[in-house]
Amino acid sequence: MTGSYDIWLVVLSCVVAALASYVALDLVSGVVGAKTVKSKTCWLIGGAMSMGTGIWSMHFIGMLSFRLPIPMSYDIPTTLVSLLIAVLISGFALLAVSVEAQGGRRLLVAGCLMGFGIASMHYTGMAAMEMFPPIRYDPLLFSFSVIIAIAGAAVALWIALRLRMETFFTAFWKRVGAALVMGTAICGMHYTGMAAAIFTPDSICTVNPQFIDNTWLASMIGGFSVVLLLTTLLISIFTERKVDRHWKQAETLRLANAALESRTTDLSRANVLLANQVRILELVASGAPLSATLEEITRMVEVEVPGMLCALLLIDNTGTSFERATAPSLPAEFTATIDGAAAFLTKRLVIGDIDADPAWARFRELARRFNLRACWYQPIMSSEARRLGTIASFYHEPREPSDHELQMIKIAASLAGIVIERTRSEEQMRASLAEKEILLKEIHHRVKNNMQVISSLLNLQTGRIQDPTTREMFEDAQNRIKSMALIHERLYQQHTLARVEFAAYLRQLVGHLLRSYRTGAVTLNFAADEVSLDIDSAVPCGLIVNELVTNALKYAYADGRAGVLTIYLHASDSTDKSGQARLIVADDGPGIPAGFDLAKATSLGLQLVGDLTQQISGSIEYATANGARWTLSIPTINPRQRAREMSSIPTTHADLVDTDLSPIAARSTKPG
């Protein structure tokens, strides 16, 4: 007995097979993507039912498309058993492809089990026809159908494994192609199995007829299967889209966290680098030796870039030779042998492999001995683009520098340039100041000598003057010149030229005056704190002391009268914000005449006292109490000097000896 096929039902079975295959591939992604046991179990059960129903529907529609010249029907329990087999096999397939590791042997075993399951489903469905005599099968075609089932199952599992991490949005066309291949294999197995069936001419179907049209039943089952499969597909697509959106959000969050972590790391590294730079600049500001500061720079680079060995080469001030400033981590033999040609580079040089670079031909064996395989050179330039030296960086393996490493070396070179340039500027400044100090000392020495010559000339002239009044005038002039000469002598003898140690000068000046007037009967009561005055205050104060002491010796102790001359110099009190020292000159003579007014004084000496006090912005008080008592308040920083220090105008040599006496010179004078 031979049968025929309803072509439209055959086409419908093929469509259902392809759709079931596509849904199966899509379900794999859902099972694999499930994160919990509960969700994975739901995907397996739901997927197995949907996929199994689809595959079973294809087979049953294919059987309904078969026409025999006898009434045919199917045993419902046996048919349901074939459906159950399809569901179980589908569940097994989904579980198999959801396992992470799948070797070739496991894939083959799973393919065989699934192929036998599909064949069992098909032939169980055929058995539901309950033909008498029973259906016989062609052994060759029967075996071929089983082989097709196993091969199709293995291929389906392999394709599912390859596409299991894909989604509907990333692998639509791949799955369409794979579904067509799998659907063809399923249909091929079914219709090969149908071709293997042999019906005897007198065969009858023993199942009670159901009086249901096969075409209508096949269409109903096909429609139900298509709806079920499409619904399953939509659920899977919706879930995949949700998962895909969640994954993208998670990936965005991961990238944001990675970027934040990277920025945090960069910020932390930048803070450490900034702290190192501040520490190095503090070393510069504290006057640390150049070698110590440069070594700190090289160690900073070696800490920031692990594995790097740094050396720093300097060019001398002439620009013709170099010196090895520091190389704390490199072998001394290596640094002593290299010729230092890199110190004169003006551009960065990167040698990624010393063995392959011709410039290292002379020192290649030396580098190999110490396992130095790569080197980079960064020139150190001044602010005027003048070569100062080079930072050399070595590595134990051939390599190219990263952007971070190049940036670190560039920062180190910039720091080294600042340090070297400042140190050399300070050295030049110290040399210049030393030269100027020698020159100024020479000036003070010559001024002192010239004043001594003038004093000697006045002394010679005084010896030829017969008139006592004129002789006294010359002697006073000589003492005044001597008081100024002593200032320049003190400056010449001191280590500093900026200020005069006034206490020592005062003792020397008063001693000179006592010797000049030969007043052996006068006792000196002298006490002086350590007070330093700038030259603008020291010269006028010296002249004021000269006048006050001279007047005391001339008038308070005239004609050999005995007495006590008191000289006190008090430093400014720490609570006194004006910063004024006090100078007291007192004698125990007849005192100051009643009604005396310094502003109306007619003698040259007292006029000098008044005008010079104004010149230094000081003040003077006088009183009679057991003799004359003069109290001079002296600003320790002269306003003229303060104005110069606050301005950009440098102190000149003329400023150092400038004491303005022109207002007094314009007055009519009277000996005093």
Confidence bin at 640 (pLDDT 50/70/90): low
Which pLDDT value is given to residue 584? 92
Q: What DSSP assignment string belongs to 513-556?
A: HHHHHT-TTEEEEEEE---EEEHHHHHHHHHHHHHHHHHIIIII
Asked if the structure places residue 449 within a domain, the reply is no
Last residue of a domain, one of 379, 412, 431: 431
CA distance linking residue 481 with residue 497, whole number of Å: 20
- For 565, phi then psi, to 5°, come to -100, 125
Q: Compute the average pLDDT of residues 458-462.
A: 77
Which pLDDT value is given to residue 33? 61
Residue 363 has pLDDT above 80, yes or no: yes
Asked if the structure places residue 126 within a domain, the reply is yes
- The region of weakest confidence among 191-200, 220-229, 412-421 is 220-229
Which pLDDT value is given to residue 354? 87
- The region of weakest confidence among 71-80, 118-127, 264-273, 651-660 is 651-660
Q: Compute the average pLDDT of residues 277-294.
A: 81
Residue with tokens 């006898």: 70
Confidence bin at 382 (pLDDT 50/70/90): confident
Same domain, 68 and 168: yes
- The region of weakest confidence among 168-182, 293-307, 544-558, 638-652 is 638-652
Summarised one tens digit per residue, pLDDT across range 653-662 is 434 445 555 5
Asked if the structure places residue 281 within a domain, the reply is no
Residue with tokens 């045993």: 75
Which pLDDT value is given to residue 527? 92
CA distance linking residue 26 with residue 178, whole number of Å: 11
The DSSP symbol for 100 reads S
Asked if the structure places residue 274 within a domain, the reply is no
Which pLDDT value is given to residue 672? 40
Confidence bin at 539 (pLDDT 50/70/90): confident
Same domain, 373 and 484: no
Which pLDDT value is given to residue 294? 85
CB 533, CB 616: distance < 8 Å: no
Last residue of a domain, one of 190, 213, 246: 246
Residue 325 has pLDDT above 80, yes or no: no
Asked if the structure places residue 343 within a domain, the reply is yes
Confidence bin at 648 (pLDDT 50/70/90): very low
Residue 593 has pLDDT above 50, yes or no: yes
Last residue of a domain, one of 405, 431, 457: 431
Same domain, 626 and 481: yes
Asked if the structure places residue 217 within a domain, the reply is yes
Tell which wins on pLDDT, 622 or 229: 622
Residue 413 has pLDDT above 60, yes or no: yes
Residue 404 has pLDDT above 80, yes or no: yes
Of 417, 366, 370, nearest to 390 by C-alpha is 417
Q: What is the CATH number of the domain that holds 333?
A: 3.30.450.40
Confidence bin at 652 (pLDDT 50/70/90): very low
Strands of 285-352, DSSP E:
309-315, 322-326, 349-351
Same domain, 236 and 291: no
Kindly report the average pLDDT of the chain as a whole number: 77
Q: Compute the average pLDDT of residues 588-603.
A: 84
Same domain, 427 and 469: no
Tell which wins on pLDDT, 610 or 16: 610
Residue 590 has pLDDT above 50, yes or no: yes
Tell which wins on pLDDT, 588 or 219: 588
Number of domains in the chain: 3
CB 469, CB 671: distance < 8 Å: yes
Same domain, 399 and 474: no
Same domain, 409 and 538: no
Q: What is the CATH number of the domain that holds 481?
A: 3.30.565.10
- For 339, phi then psi, to 5°, come to -85, -10
Which pLDDT value is given to residue 222? 67
Residue 420 has pLDDT above 80, yes or no: yes
Same domain, 424 and 498: no
Which pLDDT value is given to residue 495? 63
Which pLDDT value is given to residue 649? 40
The DSSP symbol for 365 reads H
Q: What DSSP assignment string belongs to 233-278?
A: HHHHHHHHHHHHHHHHHHHHHHHHHHHHHHHHHHHHHHHHHHHHHH
CA distance linking residue 231 with residue 215, whole number of Å: 24
Residue 646 has pLDDT above 50, yes or no: no
Same domain, 224 and 298: no
Same domain, 88 and 207: yes
Confidence bin at 502 (pLDDT 50/70/90): confident
- Whether the model clears a pTM of 0.75, i.e. scores above it, the answer is no
Asked if the structure places residue 263 within a domain, the reply is no
Q: What percentage of the chain reaches a pLDDT higher than 70?
A: 75
Residue 639 has pLDDT above 60, yes or no: no
Summarised one tens digit per residue, pLDDT across range 46-100 is 777 777 777 788 787 877 777 777 777 777 788 888 888 878 877 777 677 666 5
Same domain, 621 and 482: yes
Which pLDDT value is given to residue 568? 92
Which pLDDT value is given to residue 412? 86
Containing structural domain, residue 113: 4-246
Asked if the structure places residue 264 within a domain, the reply is no
Same domain, 343 and 473: no
What is the widest separation between alpha-carbon atoms in the chain?
A: 183
Of 245, 47, 14, nearest to 164 by C-alpha is 47
Which pLDDT value is given to residue 17? 74
